[in-house]
Structure 1
């Protein structure tokens, strides 16, 4: 298992990449939790790699991943890149979030410090023959109003309050939002539009006028 530590910095991320010519470097987990485990780090890039994690038949709770980025009570982690990486042959238990098995995973955990990823990029990569999930994010902090019985702490950031672009988009959406019509009024409006379109078609091609 490849489990490095330490973070990069904005503009100077830590980069794991191939060099020279030939096949992509192989990272094989052999049945570990992940072939590549990056925990509580940020500013990382993985490029031009071949990753697998095949071991003995997994037990019912034996989760496995090809690449696992995991933040626990970390705060906001920034800049994660996976580019031209092939992930394959990962046999793990059949679990999804908040702690899944899969190919390329970004997982948030903990209960003390609100935590999230900011800036995930996965490009030109392949995932095949993995259990259970291909590419995914999961978080123990996500709690939506429609799931009031969730055990999550209840912090689910959907936007940056200080982002002027997002604030502008929200203002434009509110300004252009028309009041909702009752279902009967919407049906009548659609019917009038259809009748109008048919009338124009018939007058143009058949010389018939609807009355």
Structure 2
């Protein structure tokens, strides 16, 4: 699955205050800024002047209701944005992801796959691989794999009340694997509510193209944007998902 673009609901993106979260800290209702192009780690406290500089640092923060997370336009973060356990919003106080910076620049990118890739900003190279029949082989932009398969570029696991806006996501690789672009996953969780996705461009997700022996999951569990709800054991609450 190569190119996905989704626009669903407009989402609120207003920063009401700035409170600097520390490593492994909780983030009260705040604006947190992320710029993966910034160098060094000293003083990276999440303010606009001293933004978080890696997804590992961002994933160590437990976000609280009302938090706004801003990624800088024109930059790329490598890895997976997987919020810490317990990072849920609340009714009327969703956790919102959005972009900041020069509006003439492209969306912030989260690239969960290989780093060494061919440039194809307008998808010309990818489009040229399509066949007249409409059935085309997957065309990877990777020159070299990193040896790591990440589940998703954005992975919301057992959290609720999230709004994702204005991102570009990819999860490329030379070989098929269990990859997703944006994954909302609930495991033995109950009801998940309020997931809004707006102006998110997903492309080059090299998941499974069909079911084969040895695959880690069904091919339908991979792809661009996926909501995956499961439960184990008998007598547990039936899981549900509301948008």
- TM score, norm. by length of structure 2: 0.45
| Greater fraction helix | 1
Q: Give 1:94-173 correspondences, 5 Å limit.
A: 94=209, 100-111=221-232, 112-119=236-243
Q: Does 1:12 align with 2:93?
A: yes
CA distance in 2, matches of 1:76, 1:91: 30
**How many corresponding residue pairs?**
116
Q: Please, which of 8, 20, 28 is the counterpart of residue 111 of structure 2?
A: 28
Residue matched to 1:39: 157
Q: Please, which of 87, 91, 103 is the counterpart of residue 206 of structure 2?
A: 91
Q: Please, which of 78, 83, 88 is the counterpart of residue 193 of structure 2?
A: 78
Q: Secondary structure at the match of 2:154?
A: strand
Q: Contact 1:98/1:107 (CA < 8 Å) preserved in 2?
A: no
- Runs of 4+ deviating beyond 4 Å: 95-99
Larger RCO of the pair (alpha carbons < 8 Å, separation 6+): 2
Larger Rg: 1
Q: Does 1:53 align with 2:136?
A: no
CA distance in 1, matches of 2:230, 2:174: 27
CA distance in 1, matches of 2:166, 2:209: 28
Q: Please, which of 39, 58, 65 is the counterpart of residue 180 of structure 2?
A: 65
CA distance in 2, matches of 1:3, 1:95: 27
Residue matched to 1:159: none
CA distance in 2, matches of 1:50, 1:63: 19
CA distance in 2, matches of 1:51, 1:8: 22
Q: Contact 1:99/1:107 (CA < 8 Å) preserved in 2?
A: no
- Tell me by how many angstroms 1:98 deviates: 9.0
CA distance in 1, matches of 2:166, 2:201: 8
Stretches of structure 2 lacking an aligned partner (at least 5 in a row): 1-79, 114-148, 212-217
